[in-house]
Amino acid sequence: MTVFFSEGALAIRSATPADREAVLVFCQTGWNGGDYIEHVWDEWLNDPDGRLIVATESERPVALVHMGRLSPRESWFQGLRVDPAVRQRGLATLLTEQLVRIAQSDGAKEIRLATSATNAPVHRMMAKLGFRRLTSFAPYLYEATPESADPQSSSATPPLAAPQAAAELPARQADIDLSDSPAGALPARLAGMALPARRSDRLRHSAILRATRGLYSRGWSWERLTATKLREHERRGEVVVLPSGWGILRESPDDRRLHTYFLDGDDYPALARDLRAEARRRGYSWVRWMLPDLPALRAAFQSSGFTHDPAVEMVLYELVTLPSSRRVLRARR
């Protein structure tokens, strides 16, 4: 157990298995019995690349937060919880400040988190701590059936075959961040597409990438889209070329759901139809994508039968740091 902060009866330290019961009690109290922390506690506690941190008062856990590592340079904050009995005392701010310091000492250069658009206290805290609002995302869902047909959609190409070795991939530059790929190599199939070749301005050419600020979603977290990550998704068979563009799709056979990590294309109505068709082609009854705040894209998906709860809108924040000095360097503009 590591203690990161101690002042009087208050301490901030790494979580232990013994904290579980006390933490879940105040999580359930604060979230009307519907919190997810119970289901991820063991995973977070045993995450070799992450940190599960608690604040204690007189040795009793009263607050919680988890930090995951998305890449060597990216950290993701999630699961911030404070016991309702001790709220309005600055514990959430203190805990987040300490976690920023921990992330910086671990070498993180970019720290992100997402919160509900209606969570005013967290928005105020983000401004106070120097986090910058990047954009917002909302889940759009479509219920598909294998038997349904869509004459307006054409069949997508099957998942990509095994990729060429990295050295054999054509050197291309596109809207994707290629800084982690010295050769600028994209996956084999995508390298043959008509993608822009301007490495110096990676967000200039794709309206969707521009709206996502160069990030893509993996569930409820957002990370930088790079050539290396694209090749990793390709190796897992998750990169697909659609008639109207391309995407990263992850199958979830257990719950018969198709998760969309990213889509790109210029014809938004066609992109929505092709995603529906791809879900049906694979036999999935449900497909979701966290759409960025791009009105034309959202309108096209809604017109194509995707549904969206207006009450569910996630605001994404980021802090860009200088790890060596534990100071905030800048917020991405």
- 98 and 152 inside one domain: no
- 198 and 248 inside one domain: yes
On whether the CB atoms of residues 290 and 138 are closer than 8 A, the answer is yes
- 93 and 177 inside one domain: no
- 230 and 283 inside one domain: yes
- 210 and 286 inside one domain: yes
**Where do the H-state alpha helices sit in the chain?**
20-30, 37-45, 91-105, 120-129, 188-191, 207-212, 227-235, 268-282, 295-303
pLDDT digits (tens, 9 = 90+) for 206-250: 889 889 999 999 988 999 998 888 889 989 999 999 999 999 999
Give the pLDDT confidence score for residue 159 in this predicted structure. 41
Q: The domain that contains 25 carries what CATH number?
A: 3.40.630.30
b/e code 82-100 from CB counts within 10 Å (16+ = b): bbeebeeeebbebbbbbbb
**Where do the H-state alpha helices sit in 61-113?**
91-105
- Tell me how many domains the chain contains: 2
Give the pLDDT confidence score for residue 53 in this predicted structure. 97
DSSP 304: T
- 144 and 292 inside one domain: yes
Backbone angles phi, psi at 62, to 5 degrees: -130, -5
Number of H helices, E strands in the chain: 9, 15
Which residue ranges of the chain lie beneath pLDDT 70? 30-34, 144-205, 322-333
Give the pLDDT confidence score for residue 97 in this predicted structure. 96
pLDDT digits (tens, 9 = 90+) for 111-134: 999 999 999 999 999 999 999 999
| Neighbour count for residue 192 (Cβ, 10 Å) | 12
Q: Is residue 251 part of a domain?
A: yes
Choosing from 57, 91, 108, the residue where a domain stops is 108
Give the pLDDT confidence score for residue 224 in this predicted structure. 92
- 232 and 276 inside one domain: yes
Give the pLDDT confidence score for residue 162 in this predicted structure. 33
Domain that holds residue 249: 140-314
- 168 and 215 inside one domain: yes
Give the pLDDT confidence score for residue 190 in this predicted structure. 59
Give the pLDDT confidence score for residue 203 in this predicted structure. 38
Backbone angles phi, psi at 110, to 5 degrees: -135, 125
Give the pLDDT confidence score for residue 226 in this predicted structure. 86
- 170 and 303 inside one domain: yes
